[in-house]
Copies of this chain bind each other. A is one copy, B any other.
């Protein structure tokens, strides 16, 4: 694996999921792989789970970690080509990426969507410019349109739940549901989850359904062949996993079209399911998106899912270490 920008960089998804589960069972088995190797973690945005879990995974593998908050530890970076740099960006990504690539054996980048210009966000400029100029592998720590380390952790969490419970069928029904929120959030986690679940559906591992209010359709390249339903109750019928997430509109880009509280997940929703598990990438605003009752019930997998971020990162970093 030379980059981990999206699912397209994964050659064997089953093996990668298994590698994550192996790391969880035996975290320090590959510590020799990372000796004298350094990962740089570059944050254009805030982070809790990604920052800590990726750092931890790297350390489990014996690597050194260097962390930089762009615009806080350093200055803003220009991403456009050919411009006269007389504004507020003091350095071009061509130099920054190339230089960081000389100090690091691989680079993780977090750069959220700005939600102002859809074409710009969906071009994934930051990720692609780093991949173009860094000359070392790039790991996506959540980009404008994707969060693949999260999706891999989600896959690990689902397989683990299946292994732990005979009540979950071999091909469980997984429902991604939109949740209400007052702030416009990126589509990255939802996009990525669709991308990975569509792959898992194709290989017969899940049955995948997406539900959201009208106007919240995700980009066609992500939603793919997933069944889309606008009636949340019907979508939840017989679900084995409910995956909650808010996102702002893709068609009316970056807008909040509704905050309809009936879309929040409560125990009434869980009762419609097949004793369903609840998943969310976190952070989650309690009682706005999901009720306390759900999050504090045995139905919730959110903590295990977050814990699995360490193992998804470790599986990816290990693949990259083996390739360099």
A interface residues (Cβ-Cβ under 8 A, vs B): 27-28, 36, 38, 40, 43, 46-49, 51-53, 55-56, 59-60, 64, 66, 68-69, 72-75, 78, 81-86, 90-92, 94-96, 98-100, 102-104, 182, 282-288, 292, 295-296, 302-303, 306-307, 310
Contact = CB atoms under 8 A, between A and B. Distances in A.
A59 B34 CA distance: 13
A303 B102 contact: yes
B283 A75 contact: yes
Nearest to A69: B73
Main secondary structure of the interface of A (DSSP, over half): mixed
Contacts of A85: 285-288
Nearest to A90: B283
Contacts of A40: 52
Copies in the complex: 3
Contact of A47 (B43, B73, B99, B307): B73
A18 to B, nearest CB: 20
Nearest to A43: B73
A192 to B, nearest CB: 19
The 5 A-B pairs with the shortest beta carbon distances in the complex, nearest first, are: A91-B283, A85-B285, A102-B307, A48-B74, A99-B306
